[in-house]
């Protein structure tokens, strides 16, 4: 499968009064044509900053310090503001956790989607644009599209607002959709419908999707491949079946052990990962997971492990693998789910 996006050694920091927060510390990966790539990790792992860096949607205090993001033979970190604006919404779209913050409360939703389309297709007539919006609303299963076209965001439920955002993101048939925790605020039934819609999108248009979440359960339902991030770094990368069957990194094992399993013995408690994420103003020199890892030893605190291939298209960054000891034979977090 061809890559449509290539991220090379991306480093992004925030300059704050408390010092430089090294949110992303050298991240490299590809997104292949037509695949759904999950990026999973706790708050502060760097997953959202990675995605915002791709489209340069960062706050003024943030800076891409190093690295490149290649899309259609150009480095998105280096092109002009005018060029990146032309790519946003047309070739690469984004949907966020809170649709309210992305929708204008004073403009009917239909008009907002239509204006978004018009920006990239000024040649289309008003009637043509409206027709396209109604078709999109029907596609994302917004009932009574004609009536809903004239409604304001506050007249929609959370799930319906998210559908409007998906319609807006799809307005120009992007090649890549970045979805940053789009279902986190929704109840499970609506979440399921939104995931279903994203899957349909991939099948119908061949759209590639980066799906950012803290929930490995959602990743299992939706994604083809997953990156596990921690402390501003990728810790593990694998195909979806492989990561659940053979997790190679203790942090991934911890995440798996904390997923509720409907078939699990209810007397067994879920295993949270003890401790908290590292302070990114002063990230550790060695493995950032060391303070929380039951396997940690001296080398872990001193040296950042390199990636090791632990299977076909499966790499993990852990000293246990560099020393040749398989990490998944003695899951320290056992007791929760590990298939």
Q: How far is the CB of 202 from ligand SF4 (least distance, A)?
A: 32
Whose Cβ is closer to ligand SF4: residue 158's or residue 332's? 332
Q: Which is nearer to ligand SF4, 170 or 293 (CB)?
A: 293
Phi and psi angles of residue 68, each rounded to the nearest 5 degrees, phi first:
-145, 155
Binding residues for ligand SF4, per CB under 6 A? Answer: 249-250, 287, 289-290, 293, 295-296, 300, 305, 318-320
Cβ closer to ligand SF4: 62 or 318? 318
Q: Residue 321 contacts by C-beta under 8 Å, 6 or more apart in sequence? A: 248, 305, 308, 310, 327
* Whether the Cβ atoms of residue 117 and residue 132 lie closer than 8 Å to each other: yes
CB of 289 to ligand SF4, least distance (A): 5
DSSP-derived letter for residue 103 is S
Q: Which two tokens stand for residue 326?
A: 């398989």
Report the candidate in 149, 147, 127 with the shortest Cα–Cα distance to residue 136. Answer: 149
**Residue 272 CB, nearest approach to ligand SF4 (Å):** 17
Q: Which is nearer to ligand SF4, 175 or 328 (CB)?
A: 328
Give the nearest distance from C-beta 112 to ligand SF4 in angstroms. 45
DSSP-derived 3-state class of residue 55: coil
CB of 28 to ligand SF4, least distance (A): 19
Instruction: Pick the closer one to ligand SF4 by CB: 108 or 311.
Output: 311
3-state secondary structure of 265: coil
Please say whether the beta carbons of 275 and 292 come within 8 A: yes
Helix (H) or strand (E) holding 10: strand 3-16
Quote the distance between the C-alpha of residue 295 and its chain's center: 28
Q: For ligand SF4, give the closer residue by CB, 245 or 323.
A: 323
Q: Which two tokens stand for residue 279?
A: 């302070």
255 Cβ contact partners less than 8 Å away, ≥ 6 residues apart = 40, 216, 228, 273
CB of 234 to ligand SF4, least distance (A): 13
Least distance to ligand SF4, CB of residue 114, Å: 50
Q: How far is the CB of 319 from ligand SF4 (least distance, A)?
A: 4
- Per DSSP, which regions of 187-258 are E strands? 208-213, 225-230, 233-239
CB closer to ligand SF4 out of 244 and 289: 289
First to last CA, the chain: 28
Pick the closer one to ligand SF4 by CB: 201 or 229.
229
Closest CA to 234 of 7, 11, 26: 26
């Amino acid at each position: 499968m061809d890559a449509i996006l290539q991220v090379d050694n991306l480093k992004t920091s925030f300059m704050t009064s408390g010092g430089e927060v090294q949110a992303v510390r050298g991240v490299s990966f590809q997104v292949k044509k037509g695949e759904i790539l999950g990026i999973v990790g706790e708050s502060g792992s760097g997953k959202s900053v990675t995605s915002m860096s791709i489209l340069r949607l960062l706050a003024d205090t943030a800076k891409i310090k190093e690295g490149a993001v290649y899309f259609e033979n150009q480095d998105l970190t280096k092109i002009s503001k005018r060029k990146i604006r032309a790519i946003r919404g047309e070739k690469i779209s984004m949907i966020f956790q809170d649709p309210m913050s992305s929708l204008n409360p004073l403009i009917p939703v239909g008009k907002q989607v239509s204006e978004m389309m018009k920006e990239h297709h000024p040649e289309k007539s008003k009637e043509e644009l409206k027709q396209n919006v109604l078709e999109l609303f029907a596609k994302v299963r917004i009932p009574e599209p004609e009536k809903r076209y004239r409604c304001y965001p506050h007249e929609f439920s959370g799930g319906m607002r998210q559908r409007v955002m998906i319609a807006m993101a799809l307005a120009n048939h992007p090649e890549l959709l970045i979805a940053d925790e789009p279902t986190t605020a929704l109840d499970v039934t609506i979440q399921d419908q939104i995931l279903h819609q994203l899957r349909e999108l991939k099948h119908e248009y061949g759209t590639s999707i980066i799906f950012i979440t803290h929930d490995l359960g959602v990743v299992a339902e939706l994604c083809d491949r997953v990156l596990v991030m921690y402390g501003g770094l990728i810790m593990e990368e694998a195909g979806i079946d492989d990561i659940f069957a053979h997790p190679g990194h203790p942090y991934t094992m911890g995440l798996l052990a904390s997923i509720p399993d409907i078939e699990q013995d209810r007397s067994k408690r879920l295993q949270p990962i003890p401790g908290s994420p590292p302070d990114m103003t002063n990230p550790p020199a060695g493995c950032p997971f060391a303070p929380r890892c039951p396997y940690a030893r001296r080398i872990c605190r001193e040296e950042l492990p390199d990636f090791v291939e632990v299977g076909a298209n499966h790499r993990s960054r852990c000293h246990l693998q560099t020393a040749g000891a398989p990490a998944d034979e003695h899951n320290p977090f056992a007791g929760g789910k590990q298939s």
